[in-house]
Structure 1
Amino acid sequence: MNGETSERHVIVVGAGPTGLLLAGDLAAAGVPVTLVEKRGHRISNLSRAFVVHARTLEQLDARGLADALEAKGRTLDRINLFGRLSVRLDTLPSRFNHLLVIPQYEVEEVLERRAVEAGVRFRYETEVTAIEQGTDAGTATGVGAGGEEGGVTVVVRTADGGTDRLIAAYVVGTDGHRSAVRTAVGLPFPGKSVIRSVVLADVRLDEEPAQVLTANAVGDAFAFIAPFGDGYHRVIGWHRGHDVPDSEPLGLDEVREITRLALGRDYGMRDARWMSRFHSDERQAPAYRVGRVFLAGDAAHVHTPAGGQGMNTGLQDAANLGWKLAAVLGGHADPALLDTYEAERHPVGRAVLRSSGGIVRLAMAKSPWMLGLRTALTTLVNQVAPVRTRAVGRITGIGYRYAAPRGAHRLVGTRVPDVALITGRLHESLRGGRFVLVTPPGREPEGDRGDRLAVGHWTSDCRTTVLVRPDGYVAWAADDAVDDATVEAALREWLGEPLGESLEPGKPLGSEV
């Protein structure tokens, strides 16, 4: 058996979008990362996700990746639901005031390339079989062989059938709804199947749909069509009257029939290159952390595909966790900062389960009272601006904020738009995984934190000083009367000491969010 030991090493399990983004973030911050993947080295074109929402595009923009994806995909400025509800996106307070329609594998290719360039070590055809945590599972120090003095050991089965032991400071399971990591640490995955016998087919169409995304639901059926961009389209459908096991053979005639029921035509679908049945679950792990092991993406939560929020929620998980692990392993933050990952992201996962579940239940409505409820909610969203703003904010991700401690400034925990600074856009300043201190012109912080902090000045007459976290949310803020000593205290709390100064033992940094 071979072993790997590192007090700063992180093992990410699962090379989907969530794992690729997280591993790339950590490696870019100088953290040694191994990405373990059960599959071989192949990005499949059998994508599950097709939609990238505004908040995710903002996160990708902060990594210099959004423009390349925008060039490959197609944008949509509104979301149509239930036939009568058309939600405009072009009024979003974001540079990305639209939906990007692009297959998941295109996103994975961009994220994989970044991870490779950052130095992530990939181990394909490697399956997790067990996880062993040391006695000091709550701290970032004392990693020993076998995890005996702290740290965590991942036992894996290699491509040749052998066994290996990989030792690291932390492990993150991003290995999907059947997560081996979640199972290994004993976390349940409570929930239920919401829809059974959903059909899926990748086909060619003789007739191109009028819209980039085509979707509709009637009482007994719904269907969704999205383009791959290579001549094929993904078709997803469901028929209430044909509830069969996932193992039941699927023919193209059945897909055509469901599509005609829901959309009125089948668009001349032919030449299926892949077809299958699946069921859609709503599940969430009760905790996202067990000692030194974290869960993110589908390993932590799964829900219906309604609203296209699955991949996006996982990428937001990764954006939240990555900078925190890097800060702790870099010695700039107390390990207590890592507890805020679950505190912030678990409520978001729960909210996504509710919103996506609500959409699909309304789409499946058949009883008179449910149809009446759908009509009432459609009218409410169409006619009441605050309700529409809240709904769009939840679906696109820009409407979420993280809870702030009592007495914190009103901005703490809120998302910061891509504001203009004298030196450029905020998202450009966030590149490199740094905090950004946005202040009125003339203020410069003391000390050298260039590896962790960028300073930007408002182009307007705004007098507020804001410390923006690497994931684009406000860590700390103060109004115009703030003095330099107060700013420096905030920087020390969140970023540690300037270069050349050591961290005081036991001093908590960023332990509250």
Structure 2
Amino acid sequence: MNGTTGTPENSRVIVVGSGPTGLLLAGDLAAAGIPVTLLEKRPHEISNLSRAFVLHARALEQLDARPSPTTTPNGRAARAPLARSLADDLEAVGRPITRMNLFDGLTLDLGALPSRFNHVLVLPQYEVEKVLERRAAEAGVDFRHDCEVTGLTQDADGVTVRVKGREDLRAAYVVGTDGMRSVVREAVGLPFPGRSAIRSVVLADVLLAEKPETLLTAAAVGDAFAFLAPFGDGYHRVICWHRGRDVPDHEPVDLDEIKEITRLALGRDYGMHDARWMSRFHSDERQVPSYRVGRVFLAGDAAHVHTPAGGQGMNTGLQDAANLSWKLAAVLRGHADPALLDTYQSERHPVGRTVLRSSGAIVRLAMAKGWQLPVRAALATALDHFAPARRKAVGQVTGIGYRYPAPRGAHRLTGTRVPDLALAGGGRLYEALRGGRFVLVTPGSYDPGTERADRLTVARWASDRRTTLLVRPDGYVAWAAGSARAPEIEQALATHLG
């Protein structure tokens, strides 16, 4: 049972929904030795009908902290060394860009980001799902497709999940990563307050007769907005919207409508032709009041949805998963008090709320008209010339600017994201994190003994810095001290590792 306690049902986690959030979460748990069943109502396939197209720096850092699978899609042993990460796999197929153009000449320059990933990686969501699914399968996740969850009940000992046409399943915890129309969310009675921010958005996958000048092409003119992004297989995804066109989602879409809106927003339609898929949808801004109800958790779009501006949706869900997975594993392996799970709400709910507001603000500014235009221009000028405001905006969009609450009196670094530190011997922090353990970074040697060997990696600074850091598996500071002796370190390890 790889260190888990009790029977498989008492230590099992059921994840509902096999998008990027569910795949990362399930893979993390299985890699930690936790029995995981992943339920998906769709047949087994990787859909190319995704709306997400970018990975930001913080999500890439999380993926850099996870080793690449040791097998290829055809089941053969991979040639890549174990030092290769999931981020390396995706960097090999994606296309990086270092500048994001917004409006009124405002450009977010990502080249100065304090991250190994000082860019946005452009690639369709299905490429992310391929890598995450292969890793989850290798870790031992029990995949069950064509399994439609119809409800659940929970008690003091676990959760019973009802599956259409099949026997009930039992687990210690359930995580709903089943999207905006989450059955898990409905089953625990949580509301999903909010509103539709943009109605009648149309999308299509098209071939282009003319190549766009930039990798990501977006603009808003008057009442029209359009966005173009490459799939990598010759097709482009086009997403567009016209303020005056408000029709139900089921209204048919034709290519002429998409070309017309694109011409209004971008000046030309790039010779769009041969659409292989078209659809219409509306974009909501919603968030549940609580990410946890008893033994049931929500993550990704099941917990929060917002406009696609800034490309933060998939990235926020991946970070939800990275935050929750190590906590569930620690509790189920008997190394942490179940109260640790409450910090998922206190840490991730404020981030989801901020993403909802910032993405909404980008859309509203992009679609400004009339008296709003001078206000938008003034804001663009302020961001362009005021470095602290620009850093804050970049930090929110890329995810590297968030920090988690820290206890009163804690060291100022507690709760902050740790950049990819250089370690003695030529290694990096995010390489050390690939074991799924805490990492203790010290200025000198420290012997933790064998008791915590499966939960702790000890490393030394490559520099002469004197701070001691205890880094959580998700790359945030659990504890820090300016000058720590062995008894203080031991107390910190007892508090955070058990």
2:395 is aligned with what amino acid? G
- Once the 2 structures are TM-superposed, how far is the Cα of residue 201 of structure 1 from its aligned partner? 0.7
Distance 1:193 1:235 in 2: 21
Tell me the SS of whatever aligns to 1:68.
Answer: helix
Q: CA RMSD in A?
A: 0.9
Unmatched 5+ stretches in structure 1: 137-149, 497-513
Displacement of 1:241 after TM fit? 1.7
1:248 partner SS: coil
Look up the match of 1:76: 97
Identify the residue that residue 189 of structure 1 maps to in structure 2.
192
| Contact 1:192–1:283, Cα closer than 8 Å, also in 2 | yes
Corresponding residue for residue 403 of structure 1: 405
The equivalent residue for 1:46 is 49
Report if the CA contact (8 A) 1:47-1:103 is conserved.
yes
Give, in angstroms, the shift of residue 450 of structure 1.
1.6
Counterpart pick for 2:463 among 451, 460, 463 = 460
Following superposition, the deviation at residue 163 of structure 1 comes to 3.0
1:155-206, Cα deviation, whole Å (9 max, x unpaired): 111xxxx232110000000000000000000001000001101110100001
What is the CA deviation profile of residues 219-278 of structure 1, one whole-angstrom value per residue up to 9, with x for unaligned ones?
A: 211100000000000000011121111111111011001001000010000000000111
| Alpha-carbon distance in structure 2 between the residues aligned to 1:102 and 1:5 | 37
Which amino acid in the other structure matches residue 408 of structure 1? A
Q: Where does 1:214-233 land on structure 2 (aligned, <5 Å)?
A: 214-233=217-236
Shift of 1:366: 1.1
Q: Mean alpha-carbon deviation: is it higher for 375-384 or for 23-32? A: 375-384
Q: Deviations over 1:104-155 (max 9, x none)?
A: 0000000000000000000101111111101x2xxxxxxxxxxxxx111101
2:63 equivalent in structure 1: 60
| Distance across 1 between alignment mates of 2:452 and 2:375 | 55
Secondary structure, counterpart of 1:6 in structure 2: helix
| 2:104–2:380 contact (8 Å) kept in structure 1 | no
Structure 1: distance between partners of 2:276 and 2:123 = 19
Residue 417 of structure 2 corresponds to 415
Alpha-carbon distance in 2 for matches of 1:494, 1:171: 24
Which of 82, 86, 107 is residue 128 of structure 2 equivalent to? 107
Is this contact kept in 2: 1:446–1:488, CA < 8 A? no
367, 387, 391: which one pairs with 1:385? 387
In structure 2, C-alpha distance between the alignment counterparts of 1:253 and 1:444, rounded to whole Å: 68
Number of the residue aligned with 2:258: 255
Instruction: Report if aligned partners of 2:177, 2:301 keep a CA contact under 8 Å in 1.
Output: yes
Q: Deviation per CA, 1:465-486, whole angstroms, max 9, x where unpaired?
A: 0000000000000112x21011
The residue number in structure 2 matching 1:131 is 152
Find the counterpart in structure 1 of residue 497 from structure 2: 495
In structure 2, distance between residues paired with 1:441 and 1:267 = 60
Distance, in Å, in 2 between the alignment partners of 1:437 and 1:255 is: 54
SS at match of 1:328: helix
Which of residues 148, 151, 155 is equivalent to 2:162? 155
8 Å Cα contact 2:8/2:35 also seen in 1: no
Are positions 1:332 and 2:356 aligned together? no
Q: Distance in 2 between matches of 1:124 and 1:374?
A: 47
Runs of 4+ in 1 over 6 A off after TM superposition: none
Question: In the TM superposition, what is the alpha-carbon distance from 1:15 to its structure 2 partner?
Answer: 0.2
CA contact (8 A) 1:130 1:154 kept: yes
**1:5–1:468 distance in 2 versus 1, CA, 3 Å:** closer
Letter in 2 for 1:82: F
> Aligned match of 1:287 in 266, 282, 290?
290
- The answer (yes or no) to whether the contact 2:174–2:297 under 8 Å persists in 1 is yes
Assess if the C-alpha contact under 8 Å between 1:194 and 1:280 holds in 2: yes
Residues 402-439 of structure 1, C-alpha deviations (whole Å, 9 max, x = no match): 01011111000000000100140000000021000000
Alignment pair present for 1:212 and 2:215:
yes
Q: Secondary structure at the match of 1:460?
A: coil
Whether 1:166 aligns to 2:134 is no
Percent of aligned positions that are identical: 73
**1:296 aligned onto 2:299:** yes
How many Å separate the matches in 2 of 1:408 and 1:398?
21
SS of residue in 2 equivalent to 1:486: helix
**Deviations 1:477-506, CA, capped at 9 Å, x for gaps:** 0112x210110011011111xxxxxxxxxx
**In structure 1, C-alpha distance between the alignment counterparts of 2:29 and 2:460, rounded to whole Å:** 28
CA shift, 1:446, in A, is 4.0
Rounded to whole Å, the distance in 2 between the matches of 1:13 and 1:385 is: 42
What do residues 435-454 of structure 1 show as CA deviations (whole Å, max 9, x unaligned)?
00000122333443121110
Give the one of 417, 434, 437 matched to 1:431.
434
Take 2:447 and 2:362, find their aligned partners in 1: how far apart are those partners?
A: 48
Describe the SS at the equivalent of 2:373: helix
Q: How many residues align?
A: 473
Matched, 1:350 2:353: yes
Q: What corresponds to 1:85 in structure 2?
A: 106
